[in-house]
Protein backbone atom coordinates (compact mmCIF):
# COMPACT_ATOMS: atom_id res chain seq x y z
CA UNK A 1 0.00 0.00 0.00
CA UNK A 2 1.24 3.46 -0.92
CA UNK A 3 0.39 6.64 0.97
CA UNK A 4 -0.26 10.06 -0.55
CA UNK A 5 -1.50 13.43 0.68
CA UNK A 6 -4.44 14.60 -1.44
CA UNK A 7 -6.96 17.38 -1.65
CA UNK A 8 -10.46 16.10 -2.36
CA UNK A 9 -13.53 18.14 -3.15
CA UNK A 10 -16.55 16.45 -1.64
CA UNK A 11 -20.20 16.90 -2.47
CA UNK A 12 -23.22 15.70 -0.52
CA UNK A 13 -26.21 14.85 -2.70
CA UNK A 14 -29.21 16.96 -1.68
CA UNK A 15 -31.66 14.18 -2.56
CA UNK A 16 -29.97 11.07 -1.16
CA UNK A 17 -27.41 12.52 1.25
CA UNK A 18 -24.66 10.30 -0.18
CA UNK A 19 -21.09 11.55 -0.52
CA UNK A 20 -19.37 11.89 -3.85
CA UNK A 21 -15.88 13.01 -4.81
CA UNK A 22 -15.80 15.66 -7.53
CA UNK A 23 -12.07 16.50 -7.68
CA UNK A 24 -8.82 14.92 -6.52
CA UNK A 25 -5.27 16.22 -6.77
CA UNK A 26 -1.99 15.89 -4.83
CA UNK A 27 -1.47 18.38 -2.01
CA UNK A 28 1.64 19.86 -3.60
CA UNK A 29 -0.39 20.85 -6.71
CA UNK A 30 -2.73 23.28 -4.92
CA UNK A 31 -1.07 26.41 -6.35
CA UNK A 32 -1.04 24.94 -9.86
CA UNK A 33 -4.76 24.09 -9.61
CA UNK A 34 -5.53 27.55 -8.24
CA UNK A 35 -3.67 29.27 -11.09
CA UNK A 36 -5.43 27.00 -13.59
CA UNK A 37 -8.83 28.01 -12.19
CA UNK A 38 -7.89 31.69 -12.58
CA UNK A 39 -6.80 31.07 -16.18
CA UNK A 40 -10.11 29.31 -16.93
CA UNK A 41 -11.94 32.32 -15.52
CA UNK A 42 -9.99 34.62 -17.82
CA UNK A 43 -10.47 32.41 -20.91
CA UNK A 44 -14.24 32.39 -20.44
CA UNK A 45 -14.18 36.17 -20.35
CA UNK A 46 -15.14 36.62 -16.72
CA UNK A 47 -13.38 39.72 -15.42
CA UNK A 48 -14.47 39.44 -11.87
CA UNK A 49 -13.25 38.70 -8.40
CA UNK A 50 -11.95 35.27 -7.48
CA UNK A 51 -11.15 33.72 -4.13
CA UNK A 52 -7.74 33.99 -2.59
CA UNK A 53 -5.54 30.89 -2.45
CA UNK A 54 -6.55 30.39 1.18
CA UNK A 55 -10.25 30.46 0.28
CA UNK A 56 -9.67 28.17 -2.69
CA UNK A 57 -7.93 25.66 -0.43
CA UNK A 58 -10.92 25.64 1.93
CA UNK A 59 -13.07 24.13 -0.85
CA UNK A 60 -11.17 20.88 -0.35
CA UNK A 61 -10.50 18.36 2.40
CA UNK A 62 -6.86 17.37 2.93
CA UNK A 63 -6.49 13.61 3.43
CA UNK A 64 -3.79 11.00 3.83
CA UNK A 65 -4.88 8.22 1.52
CA UNK A 66 -3.58 4.67 1.36
CA UNK A 67 -4.10 3.10 -2.06
CA UNK A 68 -2.92 0.18 -4.13
CA UNK A 69 0.50 1.36 -5.31
CA UNK A 70 0.32 -0.86 -8.40
CA UNK A 71 -2.38 1.42 -9.79
CA UNK A 72 -1.30 4.59 -11.54
CA UNK A 73 -3.79 6.82 -9.77
CA UNK A 74 -6.04 7.22 -6.77
CA UNK A 75 -9.74 6.62 -7.37
CA UNK A 76 -12.87 7.97 -5.72
CA UNK A 77 -13.32 4.68 -3.87
CA UNK A 78 -9.87 5.13 -2.25
CA UNK A 79 -10.89 8.60 -1.03
CA UNK A 80 -14.19 7.34 0.38
CA UNK A 81 -12.45 4.43 2.16
CA UNK A 82 -9.96 6.90 3.62
CA UNK A 83 -12.80 9.11 4.85
CA UNK A 84 -14.36 6.05 6.47
CA UNK A 85 -11.09 5.10 8.18
CA UNK A 86 -10.75 8.67 9.53
CA UNK A 87 -14.30 8.51 10.91
CA UNK A 88 -15.60 11.13 8.47
CA UNK A 89 -17.91 8.86 6.45
CA UNK A 90 -20.02 5.79 7.10
CA UNK A 91 -20.51 3.05 4.51
CA UNK A 92 -24.20 2.21 4.21
CA UNK A 93 -24.44 0.15 1.04
CA UNK A 94 -22.70 -1.52 -1.86
CA UNK A 95 -23.30 -1.72 -5.59
CA UNK A 96 -21.38 -2.92 -8.60
CA UNK A 97 -20.11 0.65 -9.04
CA UNK A 98 -18.78 0.97 -5.48
CA UNK A 99 -20.03 1.74 -2.02
CA UNK A 100 -22.52 4.27 -0.75
CA UNK A 101 -21.22 6.55 1.98
CA UNK A 102 -22.97 9.03 4.24
CA UNK A 103 -21.09 11.90 5.89
CA UNK A 104 -20.72 11.76 9.66
CA UNK A 105 -21.62 14.70 11.87
CA UNK A 106 -17.90 15.44 12.18
CA UNK A 107 -17.48 15.80 8.39
CA UNK A 108 -20.64 17.89 8.05
CA UNK A 109 -19.49 20.28 10.78
CA UNK A 110 -15.99 20.45 9.23
CA UNK A 111 -17.47 21.38 5.82
CA UNK A 112 -19.74 23.99 7.43
CA UNK A 113 -16.78 25.55 9.25
CA UNK A 114 -14.77 25.68 6.01
CA UNK A 115 -17.67 27.35 4.19
CA UNK A 116 -18.00 29.91 6.98
CA UNK A 117 -14.25 30.62 6.81
CA UNK A 118 -14.50 31.14 3.02
CA UNK A 119 -17.36 33.59 3.50
CA UNK A 120 -15.40 35.43 6.21
CA UNK A 121 -12.40 35.79 3.87
CA UNK A 122 -14.57 37.34 1.18
CA UNK A 123 -16.23 39.68 3.69
CA UNK A 124 -12.78 40.82 4.80
CA UNK A 125 -11.95 41.62 1.17
CA UNK A 126 -9.42 38.83 0.64
CA UNK A 127 -9.94 38.10 -3.04
CA UNK A 128 -8.24 38.77 -6.35
CA UNK A 129 -9.53 40.77 -9.29
CA UNK A 130 -9.05 38.89 -12.54
- Domain coverage including residue 114: 2-34+60-119
Q: Is the pLDDT of residue 130 over 80?
A: no
Average pLDDT for residues 64-79, to the nearest whole number?
86
In this predicted model, what pLDDT tens digit does every residue of 103-114 receive, in sequence order?
A: 999 999 999 999
Number of structural domains the chain divides into: 1
Q: How far is CA 46 from CA 23, 77, 101, 128, in A?
A: 22, 34, 36, 13
- Residues 52 and 121: their CA atoms lie apart, in Å, by 8
Is the residue at 112 inside a domain? yes
pLDDT at position 21: 95
pLDDT at position 25: 94
Is the residue at 100 inside a domain? yes
Is the residue at 46 inside a domain? no
Return the percentage of the chain with pLDDT > 70, whole number: 98
pLDDT at position 35: 93
**pTM for the full model?**
0.85
Amino acid sequence: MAKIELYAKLEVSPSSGYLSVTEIFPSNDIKKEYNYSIERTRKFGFTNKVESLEGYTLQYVLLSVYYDGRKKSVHDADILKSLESHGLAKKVGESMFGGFYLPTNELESMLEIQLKQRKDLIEKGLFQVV
